[in-house]
Amino acid sequence: MAHPDIQHPLDAGLDALGTRLRTGEFTAVQLAEMVLDRVAQRNGGTPSYDGGPGAVNAWAHLDADTTLRDAAAADVRIAAGDASPLCGVPIAVKDLFAVAGQPLTASSRVLDTVPATRDSAPWAALAAAGAVYAGHTHTHEFAAGGTTDQVGNPWSLAHSAGGSSGGSAAAVAAGMVPAALGTDTAGSVRIPAALCGVSSFKPTYGRVPMDGVIPLAATLDHVGPLARTLADCALLLPVLSAATASRDPWGVFGGRAIPAPERVGLAGRRIAITPRADRDAVDADVRDGYDRIRGLLSSLGAELVELAAPDDLSSADYDTILIAEARAYHAQHRHRLDDYRASVRAFVDPGAAPLPVDAYLRAQTRRRAVTAEWDTWFGENRIDALLEPTSAITAPLRGPGYDAGKPAGGTDPLTMFTATWNVTGFPVAALPAGIGTRSGMPVGVSLVGPADADAHLLALGMALQEAAPPPAWGPEVPTPASHERNDR
């Protein structure tokens, strides 16, 4: 299916946008106006807390005046010869990233709409490169879930956009903005990318500073971009990873920036296949997409290596780390318990006693051992990347994700493949693998690399995506029927 607006600037890649801005084909202000027009056409109304069944509702907050003011400033820079490929390009940020002068609410009624006084480190880096603020996108409240139910999936509004960066993925998938920022604690940039048919990249832990970003679990959180293609993500990552960390209690944030990836081929690359992908919970459409990409890699000359996988960190240890860190942050909001959505209140439990320190430290010690096993596995087997599905299921039906008792953690079919790589901190390139023939919804795969192999992994993902481009979404895409098997 041809994209209905294939010549529209917002449907071009970031590199093409930057080139067209610098050659004067259109101005940054004109491009910002295109974004605002697309939002008006495709969001389904003004941003709202709960969304509606007929709305994408990707946005938590918009500020057209700031968007146009940023764009006018970018035009001045471009006229003066600024060569930054991001100068004048509109970028959305998940409603966890502080942007000076803009409210920051984590898509929650717990936080008041008081404007932030300073930029988060990731946004400060993008703004310094000339990026234009496009608005804040919805998150699953406080990033504490995988569905972001106030946001509709552009491929079918009855279905979830995934989460917790669901608004960012939906805004990109619907062509309202060319790129967006998200955070990832158990899969939160990769899951919505897979469910919405776009691309994302979770860098090695610590490569992008988190200061000024509302945390969920500090030692599991990562910042990552979402865009239509990995090539677009690759333009953002060198800037994001060069951001200045103003506070760094673990001594891991910032440092060496991720370089722009070099062009590579897939011939001779060792791509691992493990039994992790053979779990019963994997949906048939997801299985088809995974098998399609597996066959494509083989046809492109990659060496597929079938290997047993190291053991995962137990769900109990993962949950201990996540819950201990989340409670430590949310204790400050114990006086606002009634303002949380039901499942989030139960999950972060602001009024609960802290978990025992010794239990937390034992879980972290076992986490280090699991990470060391995976480090050895990649090295001894000379693996360039591991291929596996991103989410075990296609987009579930939208609505119940905020109900009390919904699952969270590594046993959830949305996170069963993704949470491992937050434990190890390894980089992951997530890309679409087509549209399911049964569901009519996008499916995705991930390439996982060893720590600090970000640029090489991006290069491999970009080479694969040249042969498997993302699906084309357009307003005429029919809404598939709701499927019972997706109602989980």
Is residue 6 included in any domain, yes or no?
Answer: no
CA distance 167 to 120: 19
Least confident of 242-251, 273-282, 450-459: 242-251
CB 355: neighbour CB atoms within 10 A? 17
Whose CA is closest to 134, among 184, 190, 75, 181?
Answer: 181
Identify whether 202 is a catalytic site residue.
no
Q: Percent of the chain at pLDDT above 70?
A: 93
Backbone φ, ψ for residue 258 (5° rounding)? -75, 120
CA dist 184 → 123, 143, 163, 290 (Å): 16, 8, 9, 22
115 in Cβ contact with 18 (< 8 Å): no
pLDDT at position 477: 57
In degrees to the nearest 10, what's the CA dihedral of 154, 446, 300, 275? -130
Report which residue type is found at 245.
Answer: A
- Single out the catalytic residue among 107, 156, 164, 439: 164
Is residue 122 included in any domain, yes or no?
Answer: yes
253 in Cβ contact with 223 (< 8 Å): no
Backbone φ, ψ for residue 180 (5° rounding)? -150, 160
pLDDT band at 3 (very low <50, low <70, confident <90, very high): very low
According to DSSP, residue 485 is labeled G
CA distance 164 to 149: 10
pLDDT digits (tens, 9 = 90+) for 380-407: 999 999 999 999 999 999 987 898 776 5
pLDDT at position 255: 66
Residue 21 structure tokens:
């801005």
Is residue 172 included in any domain, yes or no?
Answer: yes
CA distance 323 to 355: 8
pLDDT at position 157: 97
pLDDT at position 351: 85
- Single out the catalytic residue among 94, 160, 168, 446: 94
Residue 430 structure tokens:
């997530």
Identify whether 298 is a catalytic site residue.
no
Q: Percent of the chain at pLDDT above 90?
A: 86
pLDDT at position 412: 87
435 in Cβ contact with 137 (< 8 Å): no
pLDDT at position 483: 41
Q: How far apart are the first and last CA of the chain?
A: 30
CA distance 203 to 217: 16
Whose CA is closest to 347, among 363, 364, 326?
Answer: 326
- Single out the catalytic residue among 107, 120, 188, 200: 188
Residue 358 structure tokens:
């010794």
Higher model confidence: residue 308 or residue 483? 308
pLDDT digits (tens, 9 = 90+) for 285-297: 999 999 999 999 9
Q: 94: domain range?
A: 15-486
Is residue 1 included in any domain, yes or no?
Answer: no
pLDDT digits (tens, 9 = 90+) for 98-118: 999 999 999 999 999 899 999
Higher model confidence: residue 253 or residue 30? 30
pLDDT band at 372 (very low <50, low <70, confident <90, very high): very high
At a CB cut-off of 8 Å and minimum separation 6, what does 17 contact? 9, 31, 88, 89, 178
217 in Cβ contact with 425 (< 8 Å): no
Identify whether 94 is a catalytic site residue.
yes
Higher model confidence: residue 57 or residue 408? 57
The stretch 77-85 carries a mean pLDDT of 95
Whose CA is closest to 91, among 281, 283, 262, 235?
Answer: 235
At a CB cut-off of 8 Å and minimum separation 6, what does 474 contact? 1, 3, 4, 5
The stretch 171-175 carries a mean pLDDT of 98
The stretch 299-320 carries a mean pLDDT of 96
CA dist 169 → 67, 126, 216, 413, 466 (Å): 20, 19, 19, 19, 21
CA distance 241 to 125: 9
pLDDT digits (tens, 9 = 90+) for 177-193: 999 999 999 999 999 99
- State the total domains in the chain: 1
350 in Cβ contact with 326 (< 8 Å): no
Residue with tokens 């930029």: 119
Higher model confidence: residue 86 or residue 409? 86
Half-sphere exposure of 392 (CA within 13 A, CB side): 19
pLDDT digits (tens, 9 = 90+) for 211-256: 999 999 999 999 999 999 999 999 999 999 999 887 666 666 666 7
Is residue 4 included in any domain, yes or no?
Answer: no
The stretch 313-322 carries a mean pLDDT of 95
CATH of the domain at 345: 3.90.1300.10
The chain-wide mean pLDDT, for the chain, equals 93
Residue 59 structure tokens:
């946005």
CA distance 331 to 403: 21
Q: Is the pLDDT of residue 487 over 50?
A: no
Residue with tokens 């917002």: 10
